[in-house]
Amino acid sequence: MDFWPEFLASSWGREFVAGGFGGIAGIISGYPLDTLRIRQQQNSNSGSALSILRRVIAAEGPRALYRGMGAPLASVTFQNAMAFQIYAILSRAFDSSVSVNDPPSYKGVALGGVGTGALQSLMLTPVELVKIRLQLQDKSHAELHHIDCHKGPISVAKSILRTEGLRGIYRGFSITVLRDAPLMASISGHMST
């Protein structure tokens, strides 16, 4: 029973909880826009975001804007906590000349950020793939053509693993690393100044 007070009293515990709540708030508030973006990118003739919004709500209902949100929500707290801890370790590991009591050097910050972005991509790639497949699933089209719809993120992940294997679940990994490694280096550099 003494776990939570001690956990929350540590900086790691506070970062974990703050990162979790911040990530959850970000996903809930931004997810409908992300769904519209994904649908707009899928089809060049889809029209404006507002016309897509109207079409989705009319054909599938407002819940369709949140389809696939379970995978990112389930992983965001762990992902943020993991990123903070990996960064804390790597920013010091890449520059051992800096004392433990001093802040990491610019070199440590930059390399720690790149390493964090690359490692977090191992978790983000499957989560984003599952999320996007659910966002693009059009239930009205599936019902019209008698195609089975996935029930949720686990159904999608199992289907990908069954039909495409481990390689399929990591489709887009290299591009995710190319996106996240420099991004995390930039964010880490900005936050350390």
DSSP for residue 101? T
Does the pLDDT of residue 149 top 80, yes or no? no
Question: pLDDT band at 103, cuts 50/70/90?
Answer: confident
* pLDDT for 140: 60
Rounded CA gap, 132 and 124, in Å? 12
* pLDDT for 145: 52
Does the pLDDT of residue 14 top 80, yes or no? no
Coil vs helix vs strand at 95: coil
Q: What is the largest CA-CA distance in the chain?
A: 65
Question: Which domains does the chain possess?
Answer: 3-192 (1.50.40.10)
Rounded CA gap, 74 and 5, in Å? 24
∠ CA 95-100-104, rounded to 5°: 45
* pLDDT for 2: 73
pLDDT in tens, 116-130: 999 999 999 999 999
